[in-house]
Amino acid sequence: MKVPEVPRVVLSASTALLGAAVLAGCGTGPEPTRATATATATATETASPTATLPAEQRTPEGTLLVADFGSDTVTFVDPERGPIESVQVGKAPYGLTVGDDGRAWVATADAVAVIDTSTRERVDRIPYETDSGPATTGEYRGGGMGIALAPDGEHVYVGVNVPDGKGTLEVIDTEKREVTDTVPVGRRPFDVDVSKDGREVYATNHDSFDVTVVRADSLKPRRIEVAPYGTEGGLGSWLKPHYAAVRPSDGKLLLPFEGEKLVVLDPRTGESDIEPMTANTHQHGARITEDGTLFAVGTGPIDPSSDKGPSLTMRTKDGKEKVFPLDGPHEDVAISKDSGTDGGTAYVTGGFTRDGFWNGITVVDLESGETRRLPAGERPLGIAVL
């Protein structure tokens, strides 16, 4: 859904904090041109800079930000009470990443939206260079999927899906706010990650059973197959890579498969080891903390007669796992900033890329194992803790 000129909110913060649900769907308008979007962003930033916004109106630390794949918005969510406010970003937003400066970069079907998370305003819209067809919705839509920010904050990398073809990795200069380069990668780049030193970018390509390693300086791509179950099923196979996490201790990529196998991939050599996992469920979202604890989202069984239901796996760096059962499919996960081996909180989005999604977040107490459901946006996928 497109918006004219100034993109703003579809729900007032005061109404949301009284418990109202997020409004899904808004009025349409003409698509802003790049020049219009840039002028609007400049005017918005000049008119209401974060520094002059009253403290009580700024987004509180610890607020959740989710991408509403079933709508054209991102939603700010109070982790105790639910939705605060939604901001229009573009059709079917998928992944998002947030920098130290509080800017969020959101991969939608037709552009990357830039959000000032403190003021909850969209300040720019950066169209893709790749032609991925009409901007649509649904599991197989074209456009941006995985997205990551370089450690120095100077570049954003977004994986662009091209239906029925190979995808691209687009490089965005965060100061110029424009695409500066494109790199060929595999099919349906579900996830994008960056090495801790910023020297390499990794696109996890679902439909081609591989990871594309891209040098940040030369932008030269290198393909590494990741297929612990083989590739015989082709495009119809469920046994493909989805999300990866970069292990802080050694830079290796961790890719969970089916709650049965964890592929530990060395992107420098292309060699990998496989470690056993215990959840026995189809896995999507992956997140790792600085202490090396991996979190993997189980979406549910492929074969209900033999596989287990949805879950969240917490795996410590020594391979010990704790599996938290979840109610219904989920997609991605974010971890509270106070989380560690002694506890904390995980936030698991209920959006899911396939049917069976629900419009909320499951909040998991990592010490007690208790869970509760929190309303969020429309089919929430990507998530971050601000």
**pLDDT tens-digit map of 47-69:** 344 455 677 789 999 999 999 99
Residues ≥6 apart with Cβ < 8 Å to 71: 1, 24, 25, 86, 377, 378, 379
Q: How many CB atoms lie within 10 A of CB 230?
A: 9
Residues ≥6 apart with Cβ < 8 Å to 218: none
**pLDDT tens-digit map of 326-353:** 999 999 999 998 876 567 999 999 998 8
Residues ≥6 apart with Cβ < 8 Å to 197: 151, 251
Percent of the chain with pLDDT over 90: 81
**pLDDT tens-digit map of 116-130:** 999 999 999 999 999
**pLDDT tens-digit map of 127-184:** 999 999 999 999 999 999 999 999 999 999 999 999 999 999 999 999 999 999 999 9
Q: What angle do CA 94, 99, 102 make, to 5 degrees?
A: 100
Residues ≥6 apart with Cβ < 8 Å to 160: 128, 130, 132, 142, 143, 144, 145, 167, 168, 169, 170, 189
| pLDDT bucket at 356, cuts 50 / 70 / 90 | confident
**pLDDT tens-digit map of 192-209:** 999 999 999 999 999 999
More confident residue, 307 or 21: 307
According to the model, what pLDDT value does residue 352 have?
A: 85
pLDDT tops 50 at residue 308: yes
According to the model, what pLDDT value does residue 322 have?
A: 97
pLDDT tops 60 at residue 110: yes
Q: How high is the mean pLDDT of the chain?
A: 88
Check if the beta carbon of residue 186 is closer than 8 Å to that of residue 168: no
According to the model, what pLDDT value does residue 337 have?
A: 85
pLDDT tops 50 at residue 7: no
User: Lowest-pLDDT range, 34-43, 122-131, 315-324, 374-383?
Assistant: 34-43
| pLDDT bucket at 6, cuts 50 / 70 / 90 | very low
Retrieve residue 262's tokens: 């964890």
The domains located in the chain, with CATH, are: 13-385 (2.130.10.10)
What's the rounded Cα separation, in Å, for the pair 17 and 149? 31
pTM for the full predicted model: 0.86
Report the length, in residues, of the chain: 386
What's the rounded Cα separation, in Å, for the pair 196 and 86? 31
Retrieve residue 216's tokens: 């940040």
Burial of 142 (0-12, 13-18, 19+ CB in 10 A): buried
Percent of the chain with pLDDT over 70: 85
